[in-house]
Amino acid sequence: MNRCLSFIFVCLAYHGFGQKEIHLDLGAGLTSHVIKDDAMSPVRYTGVLPTVSFGTIKTKANKKLSEVRLTLQYSNIHAKAAKEYPTMKGPLFRLDFDYVHLRQTNFIKDTTKGTFFVGGSFHTLLSFRFMPQLDNSAIVYDYFSSLGISAAYQHEFNWLKKRLRHYHRLSVPVISVGSRPTYMNVFDFIAPNENDPVGDAFDRASVRSFGSHVRVIFRNSLFYPIRSNNLIGFTYEWQYYGASFTVPIKSAYHSFVFSLLVQL
Amino acid sequence: MLFLIITFSSCEEAFIESDPKDDPVVNFDFLWSELDQKYSFFEFKKINWDSVYNVYRPQVNGNTSREELFNLMANMLNTLRDGHVNLRSEFNISKYENWFLDYPANFERELILYYYLGKDYKITGPLLHKEIDGVGYVRYGSFQSIIDEDDLDYVFTTYKNSKGIIIDIRGNEGGDPANGFKILERIVKERKLIYRHAFKDGPGHNDLEPFKDVYLEPATEKIRYDKKVVVLTNRLVYSAANYFSAICRVYGIMLVGDQTGGGGGAPAGSELPNGFHANYSASVCLLPNGYNIENGIPPDIKVDMNDEDRINHIDTIIETAIDQF
């Protein structure tokens, strides 16, 4: 079942890549994280992570809109008490892959000359923390691949003789394949040739619905036109996810990314 | 956008619990509870953890200093009599060490360096070795030092014409068990069940995941050592080195010296709200006959270093081992 769902997810992702894109989206910025992960600590960890993203945005006559984006983040996170005890910190690496396919809808009546879209989305989240102070439970991770629903609103307005575009999107994963640490989160290093943390993590992935894995992605972008139909974008994204697995986690971030959108 | 940021920040505060209060009582209770739910040997060691709480908890209050709290917690953890249990802070690391301090050392490094290895021994990776009375003597002091296949190729080839080898792991407090597997897979002749182990998987003292059978396969494609092997142990053989000794016991590889110190639980860690870190045993390991290796592996030939021998620069345990060839 897990493998079947994973296959479907991957096929959907390839479908996204296979579409003709209009803008190549190259972004860089900073993301402020808050994580409370019982596999790490009873206290919150925070950190500001440099963020880069690559993707494409395709729009077709305001009828269809699709986004494919890979976002990478890496930096240290730490607890408040880290000032007293330096090891209350560790690196966080996070990878997000998002594919969103939307179509215009007239279901919602608009009075602002904007366009409403609804559709489906695919999201993969991979987050690793390395906490050497936790001995053999040092590697802490989350992995979720999800199918979800998305809705967006886009409208254009004039400012300083330019036509700017404002874009808001809300995505909510509904069904996911996910993996989290086990109760003790100790990898099997006492059996010959079985110390395979990555393999173990994927082996224990299970299908989760909205109840046990909650994730909300809110994306708000402003695009400013420059030469040759290229754009400069500024995006604020807020994400929250929680997983009520054996070892629960709650995490949220605010991301601020500037991007250059090059027309292809 | 500012409105959104403020709104979502408020959502975070609602969704993600704030930090527990950094109070001595809160920290003490957290540590006690973590061990209560995650430590794996309460039943085996017949420890009444609730009674331990009743002894130590009244000694903690809101005015307990950070150092006093550390000492109280360390004393509480020492009731577990486990070398894998320790508490770490910015000013101290607590350890329970009676598992070797209460017994004879049975190892004297200088005696070996001056009178056995001398000036003409070889160092191959983490292994110090030399032929003594026709037997290869190989010293492996810590499984934290990674051994690689080339090291073993060299050592086993060097002593292929000797009567056998002695592997001296006295004082080896462990490290990565994989180092031991690399050695033993070249010595053992058949695939065998070496032990069964299970990690804790729930808060109850007996909540263990199903025991997993662990096998060791002989490495037939590598340079092997088919002659007699004797392993020297003492009470300071711990953790991964204890696992190594346990596997030797299963395969009938002779252990000479003192019982090993133990350390049969794979250690995991927890962080306290105040930044202290605790490590503790999180699994149980049993030999195929059901023997729990937490308290160590008894030797086949029990022999202590003798004071008279020591004065005469003789390591009684090495000499006993040489006599087995």
Which residues of chain A does B12 touch, with a Cβ-Cβ cutoff of 8 Å?
A: 34, 240, 252
What confidence tens digit (pLDDT) does each residue in A67-86 have? 999 999 998 999 987 766 66
Contact A190 B285 (CB under 8 A): yes
For A26-35, the pLDDT digits (tens) are: 999 999 999 9
Residues in B touching A185 (Cβ below 8 Å): 268
Structure tokens at B201: 């998987």
Mapped onto helix, strand or coil, the DSSP state of residue B306 is coil
B46: tokens are 């017949």
pLDDT of residue A37: 92
**Residue corresponding to tokens 């002593």:** B159
Quote the pLDDT of residue A85. 67
Residue of B38, B212, B275 lying closest to A184 (CB–CB): B38
Q: Shortest CB distance from B200 goes to which of A184, A189, A236?
A: A184
Greater pLDDT, A112 or A190: A190
pLDDT of residue B215: 95
CB contact (8 A) between residue B20 and residue A88: no
The amino acid present at A225, given as its one-letter code, is P
How close, in Å, is residue B115 to chain A by CA atoms?
36
> Sign of the C-alpha dihedral, residues B50, B56, B61, B67?
negative
CB < 8 Å to B279, chain A: 135
Q: Is B289 left (phi over 0), alpha (psi -120 to 50) or beta?
A: alpha
Can you tell me the distance from the alpha carbon of B274 to that of B90, in angstroms, rounded to the nearest whole number? 11
Q: In which element (H, E) is residue B43 found?
A: helix B42-45
Contact A183 B199 (CB under 8 A): yes
Tracing tokens 């020492």 back to the chain, one arrives at B78
For residue B89, the chain A residues in CB contact (below 8 A) are 85
Of A162, A81, A77, A66, nearest in space to A118 by CA: A66
CB atoms within 10 A of CB B180: 28
Residues of chain B with C-beta less than 8 angstroms from the C-beta of A236: 1, 4-5
The reported pLDDT for the residue numbered B324 is 94
pLDDT in 10s for each residue of chain B, 325 residues: 677 777 777 777 778 888 888 899 999 999 999 999 999 999 999 999 999 999 999 999 999 999 999 999 999 999 999 999 999 998 999 989 999 999 999 999 999 999 999 989 999 999 999 999 999 999 999 999 999 999 999 999 999 999 999 999 999 999 999 999 999 999 999 999 999 999 999 999 999 999 999 999 999 999 999 999 999 999 999 999 999 999 999 999 999 999 999 999 999 999 999 989 999 999 999 999 999 999 999 999 999 999 999 999 999 999 999 999 9
**CA of B244 vs chain A CAs: smallest distance (Å):** 10
Q: What is the pTM of this model?
A: 0.87
Give φ, ψ of A92 to 5 degrees.
-120, 130
A240, closest residue in chain B (CA to CA): B12
Which of A135, A182, A220 is closest, CB to CB, to B4? A220
Q: Compute the distance between CA of residue A219 and CA of residue A238 in angstroms, rounded to an integer.
A: 7
Q: Which residues of B touch A133 (CB under 8 A)?
A: 88, 269, 271, 277
User: In this model, does residue A19 exceed pLDDT 50?
Assistant: no
Taking alpha carbons only, the member of A28, A31, A9 closest to residue A239 is: A31
CB-CB under 8 Å, B276 with A84 = no
Contacts of residue B90 in chain A, CB cutoff 8 Å?
84-86
Q: Which of the pair, A197 or A180, is modelled with greater confidence? A: A180
CB A129 within 8 A of CB A40: yes
Count Cβ neighbours within 10 Å for each residue of A132-148 and write b for 16 or more, e otherwise: ebbbbbbbbbbbbbbbb
Q: Is the pLDDT of residue A15 over 60?
A: no
Average pLDDT, integer, range A48-53: 94
pLDDT of A13 reads 47
ipTM value for the complex: 0.81
* Per-residue tokens: B202: 């729930």
Tens digit of each residue's pLDDT (9 = 90 or more) over B76-111: 999 999 999 999 998 999 989 999 999 999 999 999
Q: Does B199 sit within 8 Å of A186, measured CB to CB?
A: yes
Q: Taking Cα atoms as reference points, which of B173, B146, B287 lies closest to residue B234?
A: B173
User: What is the per-residue pLDDT for A221?
Assistant: 94
A39: CB partners within 8 A, 6+ apart: A137, A140, A180, A181, A185, A247, A249
| CA distance, residue B12 to nearest chain A CA (Å) | 7
CA distance A200 to chain B (A): 14
Distances (CA, A) of B154 to B149, B151, B223, B226: 9, 5, 9, 15
Pick B68 or A9 by higher pLDDT: B68
Of B8, B214, B283, the CB nearest to A254: B8
Q: What is the pairing mode between strands B301-302 and B254-257?
A: parallel
**Cβ(A181)–Cβ(A137) under 8 Å?**
yes
Distance in angstroms (rounded) separating the CA atoms of residues A194 and B199: 15
| Residue A218 C-alpha, separation from nearest chain B C-alpha, in angstroms | 10
Compute, in degrees rounded to 10, the torsion defined by CA atoms B184, B186, B190, B195: 20
Specify the DSSP element, H or E, that contains A18: helix A2-18
Flag if B268 and A135 touch (Cβ within 8 Å): yes
Residue-level pLDDT at A200: 79
* Residues A86, B15: C-beta atoms closer than 8 Å: no
| B15, B38, B90 ranked by CB distance to A250: nearest | B15
Residues of B in contact with A183 (CB under 8 A): 38, 199-202
Count contacts between A and B (CB, < 8 Å). 139
Helix/strand/coil for A214: strand
**Integer Cα distance of A195 and B214 in angstroms:** 12
